[in-house]
Amino acid sequence: MTVRDRRGSSAERGYGSRWQKARALFLVEHPLCCRCHERGVVEPATVVDHIEPHKGDQKLFWDRGNWQPLCKPHHDQDKQAEERRGYRAGSDVDGRPLDPNHPWRRGAPT
């Protein structure tokens, strides 16, 4: 059994023609990778990413507030690593992690 067999086709997971149309419109409205933009880099977005993984939840899947435009490298490398580890890398000027889910910040006073 392949990974695709276990996960189902992209259409079976919700990425059919309706998604393709919504994705295309979102990328027209948000043409640049938001992660690159944070670094002052201009890079076209080619992926519409679900900020919070939807895990099959259709309401979350279609919530445009849960979408972000990413370039393929940011989606395939950085975002996937964040999902595995549970927090986003990055720190403020004092070296404190920005993500409230970072282990250092858990239980830290706000």
Long-range contacts of residues 26-29, Cβ cutoff 8 Å, at least 24 apart: 26/64, 26/67, 26/69, 27/69
pLDDT along the chain (110 residues), means of 10: 57 77 98 94 96 90 96 84 62 67 64
**How many angstroms separate the CA atoms of 87 and 94, rounded?**
18
Token pair for residue 33?
Answer: 């990778």
pTM of the predicted model as reported, rounded to 2 decimal places: 0.64
